[in-house]
Amino acid sequence: MMILFTAKMSPKYQERLREQFPSAQFVFCRTREETDKHIGDAEVLVTYGGDVDELLVTHADRLKWIMVLSAGVDQLPFPIIIKRKIMVTNARGIHKGPMAEYAISMLLQVYRQEKSIINNESEKRWDQSIVLKEISGRTMVVVGTGAIGQEVARLAKAFRMKTIGISKSGKQVDYFDDVHALEKLNTVLPEADFVISVLPSTNETKRLFQSFEFNQMSKHAVFLNMGRGDVLDEADLLEAVQQNVIGHAVLDVFGDEPLSEEHPFWREKNITVTPHISGVSTEYVTRALDIFTENLTRYLANEEDNFVNKIDVIKGY
């Protein structure tokens, strides 16, 4: 059985996989040319997702399983995956720690005026008139109550925040004081000091946040998006910030990445831009491979019904 990696792995991880599964043939590709050469013999493909297109899957005659070493699978060519009955799994859940820490750190950055403090330091300016606020005791609305959203809410409780969740079902989950269905979003936005979006990209979530939604938020609200860039209308968000409809926006994901140097987001003092790094951690690869090796053990034992993070390829998540 050939297991083809297009996800780059260090020699340490390559050797570990070969030792753990000596009966499998591992091929680690560095270029698309190498991938194209071997894809026809691969039974399992391990990828970060962005390099899997319809053409690649078309030539993957023996492919039965795609493991995506990230949470996002929206770039996959699902029509041909469905047609070929290929199983898809991902690394959902491993991002919750670093992404929750990112969210709290960014809220603190805004309320504690860290941009201004660092700028003052670089210019050797002693300014004690800067206004610092506390995030403690505020109200947070988290849109998306999966593993990441729950971890954000758990950390928010350390700051004695009221936590409100928004999900497709509205089902109550841990660390939230209340959870509402997605159609109730606009009824809770006026309560929010912080709105955190961790939504995936689906037909239901695309451009969910537009002018109407931003106008439901308070003028001091901080909107943070670390889910997918297409959940908001970027032009509407820019206008909301420029017109002081909301207080600040923190953006880690965008419709087009990398964000162009000419994009107006860079120039707005009340927009914080980070380069899609909210889930980055030195433990990332180890955690992702733990999920893969657990599933590979089950795959070899013909226990595919018990896979971790099996994607519903019809729904796309």
Q: Would you give per-residue pLDDT tens digits along the chain (317 residues)?
A: 999 999 999 999 999 999 999 999 999 999 999 999 999 999 999 999 999 999 999 999 999 999 999 888 988 999 999 999 999 999 998 999 999 999 999 999 999 999 999 999 999 999 999 999 999 999 999 999 999 999 999 999 999 999 999 999 999 999 999 999 999 999 999 999 999 999 988 889 999 999 999 999 999 999 999 999 999 999 999 999 999 999 999 999 999 999 999 999 999 999 999 999 999 999 999 999 999 999 999 999 999 888 999 999 998 88
Query: 233 and 200 share a domain?
Result: yes
- Does one domain contain both 132 and 222? yes
Q: Are residues 164 and 289 in the same domain?
A: no
Does residue 315 belong to any structural domain of this protein? no
CATH value at residue 134: 3.40.50.720
Which two three-digit tokens encode residue 173? 């989950």
Distance CA 244, CA 246 (A): 5
For residues 201 and 239, membership in a common domain is answered with: yes
Instruction: Give which of 179, 192, 136 is closest to 160, Cα–Cα.
Output: 136
Quick one: 187 and 286 in the same domain?
no
Give the pLDDT confidence score for residue 112 in this predicted structure.
Answer: 98
Q: Which domain holds residue 298?
A: 2-93+282-306
The model carries a pTM of 0.86
Helices within 44-190 (DSSP H only): 54-58, 78-84, 96-111, 114-122, 147-157, 185-188
CA-closest candidate to residue 140, choices 96, 94, 197: 197
Residues 69 and 115 both lie in one domain: no
The whole-number pLDDT of residue 304 equals: 80
- The reply to whether 78 falls in a domain is yes
Q: Write down the pLDDT at residue 10.
A: 96
Q: How far apart are CA 136 and CA 255, in angstroms?
A: 32
Is residue 316 a part of any domain in this protein?
no
pLDDT at position 215: 98
One domain for residues 14 and 138: no
pLDDT for residue 202:
87
pLDDT at 284 (0 to 100): 94
What pLDDT, on a 0 to 100 scale, did the predictor assign at position 296?
Answer: 98
- Compute the chain's Rg from CA coordinates: 22
Whether residues 142 and 74 share a domain: the answer is: no
The letter for the amino acid at 250 is V
Distances (CA, A) of 72 to 224, 238, 270: 18, 25, 28
The closest of 200, 147, 189, 146 to 169, measured between CA atoms, is 146
| Residue 192 lies inside a defined structural domain of this protein | yes
